Each structure stands twice: as C-alpha cells, then as structure tokens.
Amino acid sequence: MTGMDARTRITINDSATVESVSTEQAAAASSAQPAPAARQAGALVDPFGRAITYLRISVTDRCDFRCHYCMSEHPQFLPKREILSLEEIDEVASAFVAMGVRKIRLTGGEPLVRRNIMWLIRRLGRHLREGMLDELTLTTNGSQLSRHAADLFAAGVRRVNVSLDTLDAEKFRHITRRGELHKVLAGLDAVRDAGLRVKINTVALKGVNEHEIPALIEWAHGQGFDISLIETMPMGETGEDRTDHYLPLSHLRQRLENDLGWQLTRDELNTGGPSRYWRLSHTGGRIGFITPLSAHFCDDCNRVRLTATGQLYMCLGQNDRADLRAVLRGKEMAGQGEAARRQQLQQAIRAAIAHKPRGHDFAISSTEIRGQMPRTMNITGG
C-alpha cells in the first residue's frame, strides 16, 4: 500500500497498540509544532499542538434505554471480564490527571447503572479537593438521578448533562424504546434541588422532534437549564438509516431566527467540550450547537475517550486506539508498585496521544452519511 491508503501499526510497551494510523497523518504529525500555550512541562500535547485536558470515560456499555440513534433494540452487551474494574478506571484517570487533564466526564451506556459507581465518583473527587482537577461531571439519561443527586453533589460534582429529546411521554418512550419520562423529570428536579447545574442534550431528529425543539428550548430555559442541540452521528449499526433523520443545525438555527424571529447572540462560554453557545434574547438562556457533520469542531479538540474496555480513542470519528487494558493487566505490571505502574501507564498514554489525528472523517450528502464508525455510542461513550 502507498500514499493515503497506507496504514501503519504502532506498538506501545509491547502490550498496547495504536492501530490504523495513516502515513498521511503521521507525516503531518511529524511536521506540526505545538502551540505556545501547549508548550509546558509534562503536558499532554498532540502532534498539532493541542493540549489534551479533557478525558471522557465510559464506565459501562450497558444502559436502561435503547435509543434509536445510539444502539440497536437488542444489543449484545460485553462480558463483564472485558470491562475495566472501577479500580482500573481510577488508576487510568489518575494517571491522566497527573499529566495535566483538568476535566473528567463519566459516560456510558448509562453511567449510573454501573454497580458501586458512587465509589468511583467519590474516589475521583479527591482530585478536585487536591486542586488537580477543575471539573468532574457526567452525561446521563436521567433515569437514576433521583436516588443519586445528593451523593453526586457531596462527591464534588457540580454539573450534569442530561439527554432529553422530547417532553412528550409517548414520543419519549418511542425514542428510548423503554424509558419513562416522569422518572427523568423527577431526576432533573432532584439534581436542581441538590444544587447541581444542568445542561440538556437534545439530538435534533428530522421528522421526529424537529418541530418540538423551540418549545423544548423555552422549557429548558424556564427551568434554569442550558440546552445543547446535537446532530446525529454515524456511530455503529442501529438498524436504521441515519440520513432519514439527519437535521443540519444550520437549517434549524435559520428557522429559529427567520421563522420565529428569535435573536441569538454569541456567548463566549467554554465548557471544554464541542458546544458553541449562543444567548437567546427573550429567555436569557444559552443554546449550544454541536455540529459534527455540518461544521466540524476538530481544530481545537482537547479530548480523548476511554471506553469501558480500556480502549483509548484519540478521536470519536476515527478508529485509532490504544489498548490500555493490556497495559494494566500485562505481565510487566505484575508485582509493580504504584509509581512504577503509573510510569508504564503514562508512557503508553503519551505514545497514544502522539498519534491523535487532526480530525474525523464524518461527511454528509443527500443520500448517505460517510465516515461511519463500526462501534456504537454506548460502546464508545456518549
């Protein structure tokens, strides 16, 4: 193979591998220079000068919902032996924190269905108390928030993202295939009462919820919540054609401004994620737009993702990955002390970050969405 089609395989510490890195990416990486702000001792910096300060961790592939755009109706969940233990997740996360990561988001699946998840959240909360971490947060479907809200606040969590695509109970059950809207709404009340800030995440779906979105925005702002709108992403086979429901957010924004006369002004809020925020004049609330297909946000990407099986993905829309589970469970780690284990883990992480690609390959046409990943969102982490 030659040129753009050629692929290389990079081995890390004989046990972790970064797979499917193109020679084009490798060449670009070798010539790129870190941005001045990223040139600091010990910082994780990718080949394009972007400091990696945000780690998203999927703690489970399991979920109590089966949302159409996320997974199939009858998914095959992973064997428990393949899933990182909570102690292993803490070890990896702590290694990242020691290397300059300032924000951690727990995802799934549904993170709050993981047994003993509050143990992990409390463990990670120590980095907040020590000043090593700026934010510990999570993305959830909201079904379990009522029973965890107070404990989340006590552990140091101050903000949560809650996925909610409709306020119609029947439509909610259709989208999630099994969810109960009243439980999510009760969970939202609970976290607000506990003192946590909330951002609603809404996937904009043509022919499903597009006409409800203005009312959903006004409802969220009336509750004191921010809201982000998200384009559907080509992640795994879900049994449906995503082009049927793809709604470009540029079109939706035009409707809000031109048809409804809404006034949106740029808001400079930066939460470290892909949302670009605008302030809605008549509610005073914020709207975020996450546009992986119509206007990608790769240039300032500061994120990497750890799956529940310990695969470190440098990009949501690429298959380049490092197997950190192999490092954690490898024979080289047997009998090692904490310092030696961390050193080996950090070496593997640095080698992986050195191959973070410039961006994803998601693309959309009138007939297809290109760049589809073989793994579903509940595997990768939402």
For residue range 54-77, what is the model confidence (pLDDT) as tens digits?
999 999 999 999 877 777 777 788
Contact 72, 322 (CB under 8 A): no
Spell out the SS3 assignment of 308-349: CCCEEECCCCCCCEEEHHHHHCCHHHCCCCHHHHHHHHHHHH
State how far the Cα of 96 lies from the Cα of 208, in Å rounded to an integer: 39
Domains of the chain plus CATH, in order, are 3-380 (3.20.20.70)
Contact 259, 265 (CB under 8 A): no
Identify the pLDDT of residue 34: 43
The tokens for 14 are 């004989």
Identify the pLDDT of residue 196: 98
ω into 382 cis (within 30 of 0)? no
Q: Which of 59, 90, 43, 51 is nearest to 328 (CA)?
A: 90
Contact 42, 347 (CB under 8 A): no
Q: What is the Cβ-side half-sphere exposure of residue 117, based on CA atoms within 13 angstroms?
A: 26
Contact 40, 87 (CB under 8 A): no
Query: Which segments in the chain show pLDDT lower than 70?
Result: 1-42, 233-245, 292-297, 360-382
Angle in degrees, 0-180, between the axes of helices 169-176 and 181-194, rounded to the nearest 10? 100
For residue range 265-320, what is the model confidence (pLDDT) as tens digits?
999 888 777 788 999 999 999 999 988 665 566 778 899 999 999 999 998 777 88
Phi, psi of 313 (to 5 degrees): -100, 125
For residue range 36-50, what is the model confidence (pLDDT) as tens digits?
444 444 689 999 999
